[in-house]
């Protein structure tokens, strides 16, 4: 089958772009069912305690207020804790909104005001008075670290890292060594679209829930379980998502409360969180890593020791893979790692873009830069000297690893060979210039996924799958997979996403959607093609050339291979076959159609990041003036959207390195800087030249189409490259992120 110009590998512009820029795309808070009421959440100002009294007289007197929902008058919900477990499966006791009078974190919802207008709901919420009994709490990370623990195996889904050799003995006897504590501040998701839910109640009592989520089927299952509803009584829609980055992996409290309010009033309900309320739920955990590295005088690593801690709530055990990355990526005979969580009286920390790796890879790559300088070796040369061709932690072969090529191509494009080794050796005027680099690694995952392909009577192809497009370009890349598999121009392909009733697809996250959903779409289209030709062969009035071995699909038409007959349109082909529509559903799984079992080899995406910074010597202000990221990610479906994904992650990583920091007021257990005035994210002036290169990497084993995801890899290593460049510019080593003026 011939590849056409809109197939895999082509830089196709986003097919949903026009809908977004013209306002035709509808998001969770832009659905307007008749008779809808507005909900406004009232949040607890204390970190731990119990509600003693709720004074709602003044709030109920506000014109337009319909009801005030609290733990005292809410509808019935499921009795058992396990019914509130969401798709992410975080161990522990799941949070149950408005369950009882107990307060477990600052910002916990204690009431929802339901009114005819948003303004009335907000005004009444400000008038609601709640009396609390305050209990002692701890929101300080350093204090919580004294209580760090690892949950028992029965309460944990965490797989501990695998040690090798005797790392502590090797460290003691090695001639060159470094050690230190590296720290990452907590970060909050700040997507353009804030979390919102609109619940549309049908005449039959069924709920159609429009939610900002990365997984409509996960939300459907959660609501049905937590609210004791038949699964068929609730469906979830999220055709457009204005960014999520992990905040939509879990069911946030707005969706539960909106559905609960709808059940209470038997009306449609909308709840949209404010920007400050976005700081009352999920965030990237604060982290500390004790890293010790040792090497011989020739720069050969002899010992890796990593001890990591991240924070979690007291009621759940959120764990991340922050410690194994160096053990995996570097050749070293002696390596060990340990990891624990520290309980705080906050909401549960959770996934944020490249969870675990964004923390662990960046902090470890900062330490690698330190040991390279201790060995008086160029940081790039040091990494190549200790390069591992296998997953060194598990002694396992890889499906592919083109990191060496990424290092070479990235270094050449950046001009690394012109770099002077000595810190503070490059300057221009009052600015010190620094060049730094780091490597990145992220899992290349694949999950069983289903897709439906439908050939309609007008000859158009419709692809249906319950995937989400969180701004990553999923609509476009799935259309490209279908375009190539069915040999049809992309403008004749319709993509249906973001609907829990569509064929099963895992929650979008972890960079697995392109590989998993793409494979499902490809297989469905291949099967549809086969079924069409089979139907034609069986038809009484089928054209004489409709034998499978003599017919090909090209540009949305059937052609005789010898070119002797006029092409047959797909509309005509369906008529000949006596079909008004033809439909196929397929499920892509590991091991299917030439893909090996995923357990035989390790699977990763890799990158090499090179950075230039300029530091004002007097003011300490850092400018990131150049970033080059060379990525090895298997087959690239769309180089335009893929490069956009990597650049977006590099922008976020710049925030991690220089800007983003959620500051806790330990006295009340609340993040103080809960707005864009005080929580700093990169602005246009902070982002200058960014270049993304994709290194050729053919991998027939990682997934059916040889695809690895790219959504997370840009986070892994970029912040470290910036930190390492700052050291090269200033000669001052920083072990805490973000690095701010005066640090």
Tell me which residues are annotated as active site: 712
Query: 61: Cβ–Cβ under 8 A, 6 or more apart, which residues?
Result: none
DSSP code for 441: E
Q: What is the DSSP string of 461-495?
A: EEEE-----SSS-HHHHHHHHHHHHHT--GGGEEE
Phi, psi of 563 (to 5 degrees): 70, 15
* 289 contacts 364 by C-beta, under 8 angstroms: yes
Distance, CA of 552 to CA of 456 (rounded, Å): 19
Query: 572: Cβ–Cβ under 8 A, 6 or more apart, which residues?
Result: none
Q: Cis ω on the peptide bond leading into residue 738 (within 30° of 0)?
A: yes
Element (H, E) at 631: strand 622-632
Which token pair is 711? 């959504």
β-pairing, 102-103 vs 49-55, is antiparallel
Kindly list the distances between the CA atom of residue 128 and the CA atoms of 66, 122, 342, 448, in Å, as whole numbers in the listed order: 14, 10, 34, 48
Kindly list the distances between the CA atom of residue 582 and the CA atoms of 591, 622, 669, in Å, as whole numbers in the listed order: 27, 59, 58
Long-range contacts made by residues 566-574, C-beta under 8 angstroms, separation at least 24?
568/543, 569/459, 570/455, 570/459, 570/532, 571/457, 571/458, 571/459, 573/532, 573/536, 574/455, 574/457, 574/459, 574/532
Helix axis angle, 639-658 to 718-730, nearest 10°: 50
Distance, CA of 738 to CA of 463 (rounded, Å): 43
β-pairing, 207-211 vs 234-237, is parallel
Query: 707: Cβ–Cβ under 8 A, 6 or more apart, which residues?
Result: 514, 515, 518, 519, 633, 634, 635, 636, 637
Which token pair is 603? 């699977």
* 3-class SS of residue 254: helix
Query: 497: Cβ–Cβ under 8 A, 6 or more apart, which residues?
Result: 239, 465, 466, 467, 468, 469, 474, 475, 478
* 3-class SS of residue 691: strand
| Residues in a beta bridge with 588 | 449
**What is the phi-psi region of residue 89: left when phi exceeds 0, alpha when psi lies from -120 to 50, beta otherwise?**
left
Kindly list the distances between the CA atom of residue 61 and the CA atoms of 169, 321, 571, in Å, as whole numbers in the listed order: 72, 51, 63
Burial of residue 151, with CB atoms counted within 10 A of its CB: 0-12 exposed, 13-18 middle, 19 or more buried = middle
Query: 23: Cβ–Cβ under 8 A, 6 or more apart, which residues?
Result: none
Distance from first CA to last CA of the chain, Å, rounded? 59
Which token pair is 360? 């662990």
Q: Which segments of 85-127 does DSSP mark as H helices, in order? A: 118-127
Which token pair is 276? 């400050």
Distance, CA of 317 to CA of 85 (rounded, Å): 13
Distance, CA of 464 to CA of 496 (rounded, Å): 5
Distance, CA of 208 to CA of 241 (rounded, Å): 17
């Amino acid at each position: 089958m011939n590849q056409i110009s809109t197939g895999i590998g082509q830089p196709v512009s986003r097919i949903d772009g026009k809908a977004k820029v013209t306002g035709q795309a509808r998001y969770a808070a832009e659905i307007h069912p008749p008779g809808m009421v507005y909900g406004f959440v009232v949040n607890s100002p204390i970190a731990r305690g119990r509600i003693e009294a709720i004074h709602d007289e003044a709030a109920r007197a506000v014109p337009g207020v319909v009801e005030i929902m609290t733990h005292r008058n809410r509808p019935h919900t499921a009795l058992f804790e396990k019914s509130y477990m969401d798709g992410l499966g975080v161990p522990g006791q799941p949070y149950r909104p408005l369950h009882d009078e107990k307060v477990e974190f600052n910002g916990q919802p204690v009431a929802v005001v339901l009114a005819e207008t948003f303004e009335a709901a907000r005004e009444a919420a400000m008038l609601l008075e709640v009396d609390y009994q305050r209990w002692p709490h701890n929101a300080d990370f350093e204090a919580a670290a004294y209580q760090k623990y690892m949950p028992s195996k029965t309460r944990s889904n965490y797989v501990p890292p695998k040690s090798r050799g005797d790392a502590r003995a090797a460290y003691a006897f090695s001639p060159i060594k470094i050690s230190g504590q590296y720290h990452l501040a907590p970060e909050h998701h700040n997507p353009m679209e804030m979390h919102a839910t609109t619940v549309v109640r049908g005449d039959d009592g069924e709920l159609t829930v429009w939610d900002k989520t990365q997984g409509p089927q996960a939300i459907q299952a959660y609501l049905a379980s937590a609210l004791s509803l038949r699964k068929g009584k609730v469906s979830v829609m999220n055709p457009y998502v204005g960014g999520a980055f992990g905040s939509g992996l879990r069911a946030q409290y707005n969706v539960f409360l909106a559905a609960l309010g709808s059940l209470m009033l038997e009306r449609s309900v909308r709840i949209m969180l404010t920007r400050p309320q976005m700081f009352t739920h999920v965030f990237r955990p604060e982290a500390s890593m004790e890293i010790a590295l040792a090497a011989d005088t020739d720069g050969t690593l002899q010992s890796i020791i990593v001890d990591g801690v991240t924070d979690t709530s007291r009621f759940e055990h959120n764990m991340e893979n922050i410690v194994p990355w160096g053990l995996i990526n570097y050749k070293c005979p002696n390596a060990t790692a340990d990891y624990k969580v520290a309980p705080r009286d906050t909401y549960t920390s959770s996934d944020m873009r490249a969870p675990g790796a964004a923390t662990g890879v960046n902090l470890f790559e900062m330490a690698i830069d330190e040991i390279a300088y201790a060995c008086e070796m160029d940081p790039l040369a040091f990494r190549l000297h200790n390069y591992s061709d296998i997953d060194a932690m598990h002694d396992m072969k890889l499906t592919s690893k083109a990191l060496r090529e990424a290092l070479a191509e990235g270094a050449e494009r950046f001009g690394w060979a012109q770099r002077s080794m000595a810190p503070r050796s490059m300057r221009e005027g009052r600015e010190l210039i620094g060049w730094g680099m780091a490597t990145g690694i992220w899992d290349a995952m694949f999950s069983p996924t289903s897709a439906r392909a439908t050939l309609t009577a007008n000859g158009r192809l419709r692809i249906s799958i319950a995937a989400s497009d969180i701004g990553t370009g999923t609509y476009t890349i799935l259309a490209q997979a279908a375009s190539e598999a069915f040999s049809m121009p992309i403008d004749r392909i319709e993509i249906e996403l973001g609907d829990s009733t569509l064929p099963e697809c895992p929650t979008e996250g972890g960079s697995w959607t392109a590989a998993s959903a793409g494979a499902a779409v490809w297989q469905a289209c291949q099967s549809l093609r086969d079924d069409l030709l089979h139907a034609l062969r069986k038809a009484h009035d089928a054209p004489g050339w409709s034998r499978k071995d003599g017919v090909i699909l090209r540009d949305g038409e059937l052609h005789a291979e010898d070119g002797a007959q006029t092409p047959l349109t797909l509309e005509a082909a369906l008529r000949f076959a006596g079909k008004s529509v033809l439909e196929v559903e397929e499920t892509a799984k590991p091991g299917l159609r030439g893909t090996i079992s995923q357990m035989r080899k390790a699977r990763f995406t890799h990158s090499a990041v090179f950075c230039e910074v300029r530091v004002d010597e007097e003011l300490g202000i850092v400018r990131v003036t150049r970033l080059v990221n060379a990525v090895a990610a298997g087959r690239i479906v769309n180089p335009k959207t893929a490069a956009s994904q990597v650049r977006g992650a590099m922008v976020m990583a710049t925030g991690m390195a220089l800007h983003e920091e959620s500051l806790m007021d330990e006295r009340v257990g609340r993040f103080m800087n809960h707005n864009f005035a005080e929580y700093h994210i990169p602005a246009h002036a902070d982002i200058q030249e960014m270049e993304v290169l994709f290194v050729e990497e053919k991998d027939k084993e990682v997934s059916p189409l040889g695809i690895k995801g790219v959504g997370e890899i840009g986070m892994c290593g970029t912040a470290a490259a910036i930190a390492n460049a700052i050291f090269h510019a200033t000669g001052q080593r920083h072990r805490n992120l973000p690095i701010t003026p005066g640090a």
